[in-house]
Amino acid sequence: MAQLSDDCFAFGGPLLPVDEALTMLADRLEPADGVESVPLTGLDGRVLAKDMAAPMPLPPFTNSAVDGYALDGAAIPMKDGAIFTVAGRVQAGASADITAAAGETVRVFTGAPMPAGMDTVFMQEDVRVKGDGRVVLPPGLRRGANVRPAGEDVEAGQVVLEAGHRMRPQDVALAAALGFTRVEVRRRIRVAVVSTGNEIVAPGMPRGPAQLFDSNRFMLVSMLTRLGCTVEDLDILRDDRNATASVLAKAAAGNDLILASGGVSTGEADFVKAAVESVGSLVFWRLGIKPGRPVAMGVIGGTPFIGLPGNPVASFVTFTHIARPAIFALSGTPFQPPVAVPLRAAFSYKKKAGRREYVRVSLQRAAGGALEAVKFPREGAGLLSSLVETDGLVELGEEVTAVQPGQMVAFLPYSTLL
C-alpha cells in the first residue's frame, strides 16, 4: 500500500520508543531553581521544596474515639451486671483532670482527653444507665478499646512528606494538623505556549472560510494550569520559519519550557523543526506513539522545547505522555507513570508492532456487572468529540499487534493523565 509522502513514518530511520524519549527527558531536565513560602490555602498542587517533618505527634494527646464511658483497663468487668459510679464528665476541648476512684467511670465524648489512669472507653450504645445515674458496663471489652493514643497517626519528628511531593488536599490537611501555617515550595515553572498554522485563528477573531479556531492552545493552557505552571500565552504563529524562530528564541529567555503545537511534521509548511534548529537544536522529533508520531524535543538557549503535533487528539495524547513527565521533571517532582486499570476490551483492534498506541474508550457496564472498555467508533486524530465523549485511553504496548474482544487491556482514566 502506498504511503503518503508527508507521513513521517515513510521517512527512514527508526521511531524513538516512548520510554527512551522519557529517559532522555529525565536525563536532560533539571528542576527549575527557586523556592517560595506559601500559606496553607495556596498549597494544593505545589511541590514541596524540602522534607516535611512533624513538629508534634498526632493526635497530640490521647483521646476518646467515641462518646462513652472511660475506665482503667484493669477494671474491665469479667461478667454481666458490673455497676460503676460516674465520677465526672469530660467534653471535647475540656481538661481531663478528674480523679476517679477504683470502680468509677468517667463520662467522655469523642475527642475528649482521657482522664488520668484510664485507657479504655465503653461506647455509650453498649452501656445501660440506671435510674440512680450509675451505669452497667458489659464484660469482655479489649483493654485500650475506643481510645486514640497520642502519636498513633504521626510520631513527633517523623518525615511525613518528602521533598518533591506534589501536595494534594489530604496533604494540606496533614500540614495544617501539624500546625504549619506556611510551607516552602518550589516556584511554579513558567511555560510559553504557542499554536502554529496559517489555518488557525483565535476564537473571537474573524475566521476565513478555510480556517479553524485554535483549540490546542486552550487545551494546553488548561492542562498546564492543572499542573501548577505559570503560562505565557504566545498566541498563534504563521507558517513562517524566521518569524517562528525569533518568537521561540525570545520565549526561551523568560521561560522554563516552550510548548508548541502543529508544524512539526514533514509537510512543506511545517517550519517549527527548522525554526528550532536555526536558534537551537533538536534532540528528537519522531516518536513511536499513535496518535502522535511527530513530537519534537529540542533546546533553545538552554530552555527545553517540546513541539506537539497539530491534530488535537495527537496533541492531547503526546502532552499527557511526553510533556507532562517533562513538566514533572522541571517542577522537581518525581514522575510516576500513571497506574493503568486492567479492563476487559469490548472491541477488536489491529496495530503495527514497534509503536505504542492509545485507543479512546468509554466505560460500559457489561451484562455480568463488570466494567468493559468500548472503543470510540471513529479513529481520526482531529476528532475532539472522541476525547469529550470517552472516559480514558487504552494503552497498547509496542509488542501488541491485535486486541480481541474479551481480552484484558490497560485502561488509563483521563483523571490519571491530567
Cell of 149: 493514643
Q: Which does 212 bind (CB under 5 to 8 A by kind): Mg ion, ligand AMP, none?
A: ligand AMP
Contact 218, 224 (CB under 8 A): no
In the complex with Mg ion, the residue whose CB is nearer, 310 or 338, is 310
Site residues for ligand AMP, 222-281, by CB under 6 A, read: 261-263, 265, 267, 270
217 lies in the binding site for ligand AMP (CB under 6 A): yes
312 lies in the binding site for Mg ion (CB under 5 A): no
What is the smallest separation between the CB atom of 406 and ligand AMP, expressed in angstroms? 35
Q: DSSP code of 167?
A: P
C-alpha span between 7 and 30 (Å, rounded): 33
57 lies in the binding site for Mg ion (CB under 5 A): no
Q: Per-residue x/- mask for ligand AMP, residues 349 to 388, rule CB under 6 A?
A: ---------------------------------x------
Q: DSSP code of 226?
A: H
Contact 189, 331 (CB under 8 A): yes
Could you give the 3-state DSSP secondary structure of residue 309?
coil
In the complex with ligand AMP, the residue whose CB is nearer, 57 or 310, is 310
Residue 282's contacts (CB-CB under 8 Å, 6 or more residues apart) are 273, 276, 296, 297, 298
Q: Per-residue x/- mask for Mg ion, residues 195 to 214, rule CB under 5 A?
A: --x-----------------
C-alpha span between 165 and 50 (Å, rounded): 9
Q: Which residue has the cell 517532582?
A: 333
In the complex with ligand AMP, the residue whose CB is nearer, 95 or 225, is 225
What is the smallest separation between the CB atom of 51 and ligand AMP, expressed in angstroms? 41
Q: Which residue has the cell 520508543?
A: 17
Residue 405's contacts (CB-CB under 8 Å, 6 or more residues apart) are 345, 346, 347, 348
Cell of 191: 511555560
What is the smallest separation between the CB atom of 261 and Mg ion, expressed in angstroms? 9
Give me the DSSP letters along 176-193. Answer: HHTT-SEEEEEPPPEEEE
In the complex with Mg ion, the residue whose CB is nearer, 243 or 402, is 243
List 113, 263, 288, 304, residue binding Mg ion (CB under 5 A): 263
In the complex with ligand AMP, the residue whose CB is nearer, 100 or 236, is 236
318 lies in the binding site for ligand AMP (CB under 6 A): no
C-alpha span between 418 and 413 (Å, rounded): 9
Instruction: Go through the chain and tell me how many residues it has.
Output: 418
What is the smallest separation between the CB atom of 262 and Mg ion, expressed in angstroms? 4
**Residues at the site binding ligand AMP, with contacts judged by CB under 6 A:** 195, 197, 200, 212, 214-217, 261-263, 265, 267, 270, 309-312, 382
**Residues at the site binding Mg ion, with contacts judged by CB under 5 A:** 197, 262-263, 310
